[in-house]
Structure 1
Amino acid sequence: MIIHNQVQFVTINNDQAGQRIDNFLFTRLKGIPKSRIYRLIRKGEVRINNGRINPEYKVQAGDFIRIPPVRLAKKQKNVISAKLGKVAILTDYILYEDQYLLVLNKPSGMAVHGGSGVNFGVIEALRALHPEAHFLELVHRLDLETSGVLLIAKKRSALRALHQQLSQKKIQKQYVALVKGQWPSHIKVIQVPLLKVISQNGERIVKVNSNGKYSETYFQIKERISNATLVNAFPITGRTHQIRVHAQYAKHPIAYDNRYGDPNFDKELTFTGLKRLFLHASSLIFIHPVTGEKLTFNAPLDQQLKICLALLRKE
């Protein structure tokens, strides 16, 4: 059993301030699946200053948190080995590393963290590779099937500084996506409210809904290829599945999107051998949290995406 059998009361200090409550709980409740933690938040079992909160709430110094007891059956103990193939290969995907941060070209098909049926993700793998590291936390997230630039903080002070840049929209993210049909030249920005719905099995689905949160993405045509368009996407806000839902809303869904895509479009691409979501975080620009230097990181497409484009261009 994984047991946290007593109510915990925690007062947030200055070092802990600025992080999202879900990320704080992931660290605090080691071994508890992400879906279970989100359920605790949704049901109001986690309280801050005696009130309910949502998963996006950022804890502040002095916040008083009540964490309920949690008891879950554990099927088996999973010890992540640094020698495990999927873990060890991550070293080949590191774009940059210093004592404050690490930049990774995350491969498609690997979650950013464990939970919801996933034994481990990028952050757990990196901790296995760096057992000497006292602190390793995600600055932002990428979907399971999305590849590309992922930023990890190696110090709490760096995490706070980078989260501040995110909140002030000073971090520039660029994605590349292959979408269905000919993207209209006049659609340069999509601004719609997005509402996140969590089904009973814990799967998150996002819909355009007037009750949702404001979201904004800029789109730029990169290349027209056959019955598809390669686009650059620049998200201004950071909502869950934002680019994928915005592409669907524009009636040009992303290739091989198993939640928001078009199966008929995917069938047209079968000859390319594509078997993953064609969404890649191609570039990230931010200010180094200590040196103040402006950094730009570009992540190359993986072989599967390159081959898909090459075959489409021959068409």
Structure 2
Amino acid sequence: MSEIRTKVQFVDIDDDMAGQRIDNFLRNQLKNIPKSVVYRIVRKGEVRVNKKRVKAEYKLQAGDSVRIPPVTLEEKQEDTPISTKLNQVAELESQIIYEDDHLLILNKPSGIAVHGGSGLKFGAIEALRALRPQARFLELVHRIDRDTSGILLVAKKRSALRHLQAQFREKTVQKYYYALVMGKWKPSCRVVKAPLLKNEVNSIVRVNPNGKPSETRFKVIESFEQATLLQASPITGRTHQIRVHTQYTGHPIAWDDRYGDRRFDAYTAKVGLDRLFLHAANIIFTHPASDEKMEIHAQMEPKLQQVLKKLIAAV
């Protein structure tokens, strides 16, 4: 065991840092320090804002002066920094499809979580931070499931994060996914409105009248012998929304380990599929600095494209 010991820090809050809670600010400043330690030093009054004690929910204001106390922590041997030479980490650099001073857009591969936790050493955001150690700020704007591939927005400034998250809250962001579902989807089924309730114990989501209002819009792109390629656009942003809404209609997504159908998985395996066929392909939003309308497209990985070609050939 070795020790991590941080030095006392004094941080002057500028406009870009303002508006965030002190606990979230500290967790970003003290990246290797457990959340429990962050809350403890706030609770004990060791963190000072303008020389005064504050509570964890205090929102920082431009001009505030924050004192971050030194923190000592035993470091386990396995808690080494993420190597940029790991194949999965290095691969992400080539998957960046747009970048400027305000945001970065990743075509996230299937199988990589957006962030570490629950037994995962790292996720996309930790990998990006390892690849960009000089970056002062990198934060997820939104999330997509681990096994879903495609567009993931990452803010490079706090002002950009606030602007983009406000667009998601106000439902002005348009997102379009490709999903390969079981059976023949009726073109007349264009909207599914079914309330969703999440089980907090196992994270399984079900249609339930006591759930949150949820809406997904669908469009048939291509019909195959035993499958349909859909364009799905979630109007609300519930956990597993597209996956549960397609299951609810009787057309689960291929290779969905929670809501799928093993018979359909076996059928699609014959044409080379071995992952969830759900891809975040397009997004339309307003750029946080220029206010220009942005439309970004992320290509499907070659494996998914080959699956579609084989399904077309089989018709």
Give TM class, smaller chain: 0.7 to 0.9
In structure 2, relative to structure 1, the CA distance for the partners of 1:18 and 1:32 (3 Å cut) is closer
Alpha-carbon displacement from aligned partner over 1:71-112 (angstroms, at most 9, x marks no partner): 999682131022222111111111110110001110011110
Give the conservation status (yes or no) of the 8 Å contact 1:33–1:116: no
2:185 matches 1:186: no
* d(CA) in 1 for partners of 2:118, 2:145: 13
Match of 2:179 among 167, 177, 180: 177
CA 309–32 in structure 1, closer or farther in 2 if over 3 Å, else same: farther
Match of 1:119 in 2: 121
Rounded to whole Å, the distance in 2 between the matches of 1:110 and 1:162 is: 23
Partner of 2:240: 241
State the alpha-carbon separation in 1 of the partners of residues 74 and 213 from structure 2. 36
Q: What's 2:311 paired with?
A: 312
CA distance in 2, matches of 1:82, 1:162: 28
Aligned equivalent of 2:258: 259
Whole-angstrom distance in 2 between the partners of 1:313 and 1:26? 49
Question: Residue 66 of structure 2 corresponds to which residue in structure 1?
Answer: none
Unaligned runs of at least 5 residues, structure 1: 4-11, 41-58, 63-70
Q: Which has the larger radius of gyration?
A: 2
How many pairs were matched up? Answer: 276
Distance in 2 between residues matched to 1:61 and 1:18, nearest whole Å: 5
Aligned twin of 1:82: 84
Using the size of structure 2 for normalisation, the TM-score is 0.79
Residues of 2 paired with 1:129 and 1:119: CA distance? 15
CA deviation vs aligned residue, 1:240-294 (integer Å, no higher than 9, x gap): 1000000001110000000000011111112111110000000011111001111
Give the AA of the match of 1:241: H
- Partner of 1:226 in structure 2? 225
Deviations 1:121-173 (A, max 9, x none): 11000000110111000001110010011100000000000011111111110
Distance in 1 (alpha carbons) for counterparts of 2:143 and 2:247 = 21
- Which residue of structure 2 aligns with residue 92 of structure 1? 94
The separation in 2 between residues aligned to 1:16 and 1:194, in whole angstroms, is 34
Counterpart residue type for residue 135 of structure 1: F
Q: What residue in structure 2 maps to residue 48 of structure 1?
A: none
The worse-fitting range, judged by mean Cα deviation, of 73-82 and 182-191 is 73-82
Residue aligned with 1:178, SS: strand
Of 76-85 and 162-171, the range deviating more from structure 2: 76-85
Q: The residue matched to 1:91 in structure 2 has which SS?
A: helix
- 2:243 counterpart letter in structure 1: R
In the TM superposition, residue 231 of structure 1 has moved relative to its aligned partner by 0.3
TM-score when normalising by structure 1: 0.79
C-alpha distance in structure 1 between counterparts of 2:302 and 2:136, whole Å: 34
Quick one: distance in 2 between partners of 1:235 and 1:123?
Answer: 23
Please say if residues 32 and 72 of structure 1, whose CA atoms lie closer than 8 Å, have aligned partners that are also in contact.
Answer: no
Contact 1:18 1:160 in 2 (8 A): no
CA, structure 1 residues 123+288, in 2 after alignment: closer, same or farther (shift >3 Å)?
same
Which residue is equivalent to 1:143? 145
Deviation at 1:187, TM superposition (A): 1.2
User: CA separation in 2, counterparts of 1:185 and 1:262?
Assistant: 22
Shift of 1:179: 0.2
When residues 33 and 89 of structure 1 are mapped into structure 2, their CA distance, relative to the original with a 3 A threshold, is: farther
8 Å CA contact 1:33–1:115 kept in 2: the answer is no
Secondary structure in structure 2 of the residue aligned to 1:214: coil
* Residue 206 (structure 2) aligns with: 207
Residue identity opposite 1:170 in structure 2: T
Query: Match for 2:188: what amino acid?
Result: H
In the TM superposition, structure 1's runs of 4+ consecutive aligned residues that sit over 2 Å from their partners are 12-19, 23-34, 59-62, 71-76
Q: 2:169 aligns with which of 167, 173, 192?
A: 167
Mapping 1:39-118, distance limit 5 Å:
61=59, 76-118=78-120
Q: Find the counterpart in structure 1 of residue 52 from structure 2.
A: none
Alignment match, 2:134: 132
One-letter amino acid of the structure 2 residue matched with residue 239 of structure 1: R
Report the secondary structure of 2:110's partner residue. coil
1:209-247: CA deviation from partner (whole Å, max 9, x where unpaired): 122111110000111011100000010111110000000
Query: Once the two structures are superposed, what CA deviation does each residue of 1:21-54 show, in whole Å capped at 9, x if it has no partner?
Result: 9x779747845899x9xxx9xxxxxxxxxxxxxx
Q: Is the 8 A contact 1:17 1:60 kept in 2?
A: no
